[in-house]
Structures are given as structure tokens and as C-alpha cells.
């Protein structure tokens, strides 16, 4: 069966629009990535379930993305079906100190909602351009906080289309990783717990964090945040700078002069150049500082 025929069948199965050969560069903050054979952004959980069952029946590999803010997608794209968990699953409800949020909720919107409800503990999310689902899988964090600390319950699907519920005690969150990634599930929602606080104070903390980001991060260029994880007790940015890699460039990808752990796309950059720059920086940091940097960004597709 051709991709076009599968596409037509899938479109008949779902309410949500399906895209054929969708450029992933439209869905990554680096603005990099070749075509996804089939691309679906489910409007609700039922469409997600149907897409999963369809993919399984046809033997199509499934790849999950959120807002693409931590992704390096190959120039050759992604084979099979890409499912984007986004606006279709982005309802937010506040009940006392609990926030129930869909996995597609943008983190800045979650932080804003919490602040307006007088709930502290989410300020650090205001400047992280991912979704709740991506943040849970990556255990996104900043300023000494991480999202895993606030989790009470997670709703997810397995790849066969079964709905699962995990209570906080069943999950493990570590530095930029969580057991949700190991379990290979698709997160659809979460219940988080905040700490009652004063709106003005919460707002002030959020504004301070955002101001610091604007000053220290090259937000005027497409990027994917920190490329490498910080090694224990050190910072990847400091090591990259110490190894003399600041401003190093491959094609149109550059180690940012402002923040060495951010690699910026100066315009028209490609994944193979990001990868070359990653390897070059890793090699020099290991040679000069004796530390093997580990990738924080997730690579998707064929490299």
C-alpha cells in the first residue's frame, strides 16, 4: 500500500486532520527536520487511541512529539506516523491546590494559570517553551526545581491504545529523565499540586526568571535550549567555553556567543551540521576537560 493510500484510510478513521510528508522543521524550535511520512495532531484522546490502533494494525512505527523544543530531527525525516500532542489535549482546570492539565498544555500557560490561581511552585516553567507532556518525560526543570516534584497523577496510553493511570509513587523522576520515558507511554494528562501563595510574589518571581532568560539566552535565534546535560557538579556551558568552543560554527549552526550550551540556527541550518558540531564539541571537551558530555536533546529519525 502506498503512503497516499494509508493517508486516505487514516484520514477516514480520524476526526483530526492528517498530513502527508509534513516537514518536521515546522514543529521543532530549531526549525530543522525533514518530512514525517504521516503526521497527526489528535483533537482528543479518542482520536489518539484510534491513531495508535491504526498504526499497530498497519505495522507503522509511531513517534511522539510535543512542542519540539528539545528535538533534533533528521534531515531525512521520520518514517511511519508522528503524533503531536498539542492544542487538542490542552485543557487546564484548577481545584484548590491541584491543577489538572492536558499533556499538550504549553508550560508558560500552565505557569500563568497557576500564578493567577495563587499557586506557587510552577514559576520556573514560565520560560520553558515545551508542553506538559514533554516536560514530564524529560522532567524539565530550572532554578533548582523540576516538574516531577509537583506530580500527583499521570494519565497516559500505551502504544496498543490502552489507557493507564500512574500515581506519583509509581513514577521516578531524576535529572532530565523520568520512568515515563522507560515505560514508553504517551502522556495525555497530569494532576499537579501547587503551594498556596500570594499572586504578586509569584508573579514577581516569574518575571525575574524570564528577565534572566532574556539576558542569558540567545532567544532571537531558533534553538533547542541546552544541548547537553550538566555533568554532576559542573555546567556544560562552562566546560564548552573552557574547551574553546564558544562561537564555533558548522554550516549555519553556531555555538552561541551568549550561552555556550545553546547551539543556534543562524538560518537554513540542517541536522547533519548540528550533529557535526555536537560531535566536535563533545570531542574537544573530553580532550581538554576530561568530561564526556551527554546529550539532553532527543534525536529522532534516521541519522
Ligand X SMILES: Cc1cc2nc3c(=O)[nH]c(=O)nc-3n(C[C@H](O)[C@H](O)[C@H](O)COP(=O)(O)OP(=O)(O)OC[C@H]3O[C@@H](n4cnc5c(N)ncnc54)[C@H](O)[C@@H]3O)c2cc1C
Residue with cell 484510534: 50
Does 301 help bind ligand X (rule: CB under 6 A)?
no
Please choose, out of 36-44, 132-140, 250-258, 267-275, the segment that lies near ligand X by the rule CB under 6 A: 132-140
Show contacts with ligand X in window 55-74 (CB under 6 A).
64-71
Q: Compute the distance between CA of residue 83 and CA of residue 18 in angstroms, rounded to an integer.
A: 10
Residue whose CB is less far from ligand X, 121 or 130: 130
In degrees and rounded to multiples of 5, residue 185 shows phi and psi of -115, 165
String marking each residue 194-223 x if it binds ligand X according to CB under 6 A: -----------------------x-x---x
Question: Is 296 a residue of the active site?
Answer: yes
Please choose, out of 35-43, 46-54, 137-145, 232-240, the segment that lies near ligand X by the rule CB under 6 A: 137-145
Cell numbers found for residue 138: 524529560
* DSSP track, 10-56: HHHH-SS-EEEEEEGGGGSTT----EEEEEE--SSHHHHHHHHHHHH
Please choose, out of 11-19, 31-39, 129-137, 268-276, the segment that lies near ligand X by the rule CB under 6 A: 129-137
Q: Compute the distance between CA of residue 189 and CA of residue 174 in angstroms, rounded to an integer.
A: 20
Q: Degrees (nearest 5) of the Cα angle 121, 126, 130? A: 110
**Active-site residue identified among 22, 45, 123, 296:** 296
Q: Point out which residues pair with 163 in neighbouring strands.
A: 157
In degrees and rounded to multiples of 5, residue 213 shows phi and psi of -65, -45
**Active-site residue identified among 31, 49, 50, 176:** 176
**107-116 and 199-216 helices, crossing angle to 10°:** 150
Residue with cell 540556527: 265
Please choose, out of 17-25, 138-146, 167-175, 243-251, the segment that lies near ligand X by the rule CB under 6 A: 138-146
Residue whose CB is less far from ligand X, 23 or 118: 23
String marking each residue 72-101 x if it binds ligand X according to CB under 6 A: -------------x----------------
Question: Is 287 a residue of the active site?
Answer: no
Applying CB under 6 A, the site for ligand X has a residue count of 31
Show contacts with ligand X in window 258-287 (CB under 6 A).
none
H helix runs in the chain, sequence order: 3-13, 45-58, 107-116, 132-138, 179-182, 199-216, 236-242, 271-289
Q: Which of 34, 77, 102, 130 binds ligand X (CB under 6 A)?
A: 130
Catalytic residues: 176, 226, 296
Which residues here bind ligand X, judged by CB under 6 A? 29, 64-71, 85, 103, 128-131, 133-135, 137-138, 140-142, 186-187, 217, 219, 223-225, 298
Amino acid at each position: 500500500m502506498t503512503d497516499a493510500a494509508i493517508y486516505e484510510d487514516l484520514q477516514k478513521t480520524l476526526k483530526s486532520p492528517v498530513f502527508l510528508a509534513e516537514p518536521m522543521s515546522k514543529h521543532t524550535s530549531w526549525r530543522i527536520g525533514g518530512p514525517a511520512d504521516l503526521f497527526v495532531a489528535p483533537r482528543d484522546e479518542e482520536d489518539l487511541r484510534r491513531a495508535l490502533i491504526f498504526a499497530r494494525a498497519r505495522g507503522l512505527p509511531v513517534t511522539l512529539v510535543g512542542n519540539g523544543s528539545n528535538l533534533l530531527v533528521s534531515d531525512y525525516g521520520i518514517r511511519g506516523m508522528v503524533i503531536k500532542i498539542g492544542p487538542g489535549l490542552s485543557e487546564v482546570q484548577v481545584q484548590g491546590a491541584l491543577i489538572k492539565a492536558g499533556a499538550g498544555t504549553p508550560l508558560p500557560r500552565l505557569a500563568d494559570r497557576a500564578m493567577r490561581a495563587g499557586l506557587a511552585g510552577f514559576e520556573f516553567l514560565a520560560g520553558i517553551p515545551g508542553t506538559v507532556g514533554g516536560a514530564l518525560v524529560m522532567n524539565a526543570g530550572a532554578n533548582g526545581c523540576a516538574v516531577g516534584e509537583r506530580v500527583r497523577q499521570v494519565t497516559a496510553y500505551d502504544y496498543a491504545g490502552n489507557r493507564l493511570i500512574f500515581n506519583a509513587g509509581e513514577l521516578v523522576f531524576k535529572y532530565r529523565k523520568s520512568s515515563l520515558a522507560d515505560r514508553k507511554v504517551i502522556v495525555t494528562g497530569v494532576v499537579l499540586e501547587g503551594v498556596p501563595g500570594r499572586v504578586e510574589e509569584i508573579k514577581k518571581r516569574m518575571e525575574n526568571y524570564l528577565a534572566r532568560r532574556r539576558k542569558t539566552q540567545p532567544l532571537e535565534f531558533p534553538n533547542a535550549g541546552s544541548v547537553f546535560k550538566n555533568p554532576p557538579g559542573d555546567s556544560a556551558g562552562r566546560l564548552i567555553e573552557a574547551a574553546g568552543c564558544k562561537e564555533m560554527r558548522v554550516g549555519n549552526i553556531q555555538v552561541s556567543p551568549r550561552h555556550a550550551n545553546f547551539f543556534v540556527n543562524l538560518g537554513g541550518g540542517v541536522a547533519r551540521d548540528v550533529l557535526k558540531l555536537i560531535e566536535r564539541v563533545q570531542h574537544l571537551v573530553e580532550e581538554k576537560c576530561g568530561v564526556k558530555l551527554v546529550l539532553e536533546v532527543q534525536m529522532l529519525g534516521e541519522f
